[in-house]
A and B are shown apart, each in its own frame.
Chain A
Amino acid sequence: MGTLHNELEAEAAKYLEEFNYDLETLENLILRLAHSNNDRAKLTNILRLAHSLKGSAGSYGFHLLSTLFHRMEDHLVVLDFTNSSLTDTIDTLLKFKDDLESVFCAYKNKDHSLLEKFQIKLGLQEKQADLSPQEDHEKPYRILLVETSKVIVSSIITTLQDFNIEISTLKDGYEALGRLLKEKFDLLIIGGQVSTIDAANLIEILKILPNANQDIAMVVLSSSKDKFSNLASHKLHILEKGPLLRQDLLVLLKHVPLKKVNLLKEDFHQRPLSLWVLDDSVEIHKLIDISFKKFPHVHITHFETAAMVEEKIKTEAPDLILLDVQMPEINGDELFKNLKAKGLLRDRKVAFLTGTDEPQEINKLRLLNPFAILKKPFSPKTLPQELFELLDQGEKLPQVS
Chain B
Amino acid sequence: MAAKNLVVIDSDLEEIVPAFIAKRKIELTLINDAISQQNFDLLMSIGHKLKGNAGGYGFDQLSEYGSQLEIGAKQKDLTTINEAFSLISDYLNDLSIEYKRVD
Question: In the complex, are the beta carbons of B55 and A380 less than 8 A apart?
Answer: no
Having A355-B51, A377-B60, one finds 10 other A-B pairs with CB under 8 Å, namely A283-B23, A283-B53, A287-B56, A355-B48, A357-B67, A376-B51, A376-B53, A377-B51, A377-B53, A377-B56
Does the CB pair B52–A380 fall under 8 Å? no
Residue of A nearest to B103 (CB): A381
* A39–chain B nearest beta-carbon distance, Å: 52
A376 to B51, CA, bound (A): 8
8 A-B pairs within 8 Å (CB atoms) are namely A283-B16, A287-B16, A287-B57, A290-B13, A355-B48, A355-B52, A377-B53, A380-B12
Q: Is A179 an interface residue (CB 8 A)?
A: no
Chain A, 347-382, CB within 8 A of any chain B CB: 355, 357, 376-381
Q: With a CB–CB cut-off of 8 A, which chain B residues contact A380? A: 10, 12-13, 56
A293 touches B54 (CB 8 A): no
Q: Tell me which of B16, B23, B54, B63 has the highest count of chain A C-beta atoms within 10 A of its own C-beta.
A: B16
A-B pairs with lowest CB-CB distance, top 8? A377-B55, A355-B52, A376-B52, A377-B56, A286-B16, A287-B56, A283-B53, A378-B56
A326 at the interface (CB under 8 A from B): yes
CB distance from A254 to the nearest CB of B (A): 18
**A284 part of interface (Cβ distance < 8 Å):** yes
- Pick the most buried of A286, A326, A377: most chain B CB atoms within 10 A of its CB: A377
A377 touches B48 (CB 8 A): no
- Among A284, A287, A376, residue most surrounded by chain B Cβ atoms (within 10 Å): A376
Kindly provide the distance from the CB of B57 to the nearest chain A CB, expressed in whole angstroms: 7
**A281 CA / B10 CA spacing, docked (Å):** 21
- For window 42-85 of chain B, which residues contact chain A by CB distance below 8 Å? 45, 48-49, 51-57, 60, 63, 67
Q: How far is the CA of A287 from the CA of B102 in the complex (A)?
A: 16
- The smallest beta-carbon distance between A304 and chain B, in angstroms, is 13
Residues of A within 8 A of B (CB): 281, 283-284, 286-287, 290, 293, 326, 328, 355, 357, 376-381
Nearest A residue to B12 by beta-carbon distance?
A290
Query: Does B16 lie within 8 Å of A377, measured CB to CB?
Result: no
* Chain B hits for A281, CB < 8 A: 49, 52-53
Chain A residues, Cβ within 8 Å of B99? none
Q: How far is the CA of A287 from the CA of B52 in the complex (A)?
A: 12
Most buried by A among B15, B52, B102: B52
Q: How many residues of B contact A (CB 8 A)?
A: 21
CB pair A377–B20 under 8 Å, yes or no, is no
User: Chain A: interface secondary structure?
Assistant: loop
* Chain A residues with CB below 8 A from B20, complex form: 283, 286
Q: Would you give the 0/1 interface string for B84-103, flagging 1 where the beta carbon is closer than 8 Å to chain A?
A: 00000000000000000010
Distance of A326 Cα from B67 Cα, bound (Å): 14
B102 surroundings in chain A (CB, below 8 A) = 381
Query: Nearest chain B CB to A71's CB is how many angstroms away?
Result: 39
A150 to B88, CA, bound (A): 43
Asked whether B63 lies within 8 Å of A377 as measured between CB atoms, the reply is: yes
In whole angstroms, how far apart are the Cα atoms of A287 and B51 in the complex?
14
For A326, the closest partner residue in chain B by CB is B48
Q: Are A283 and B57 in contact (CB under 8 A)?
A: yes
- The winner among A328, A355, A376 for most chain B CB atoms within 10 A is A355
Residue numbers in A under 8 Å from B55 (CB-CB): 376-378
- Per-position 1/0 for B14-30, Cβ under 8 A of A: 01100010010000000
A258 to B41, CA, bound (A): 47
Inter-chain contact A284/B53, CB cutoff 8 Å: yes
Q: How far is the CB of B34 from chain A (nearest CB, A)?
A: 15
The answer for the CA separation of A32 and B52 in the assembled complex, in Å, is 57
Least distance between A381 CB and chain B CB atoms (Å): 7
Most buried by B among A281, A283, A293, A378: A283
Closest Cβ of chain B to A108, distance in Å, is: 55
In the docked arrangement, what's the CA distance between A357 and B23, Å? 25
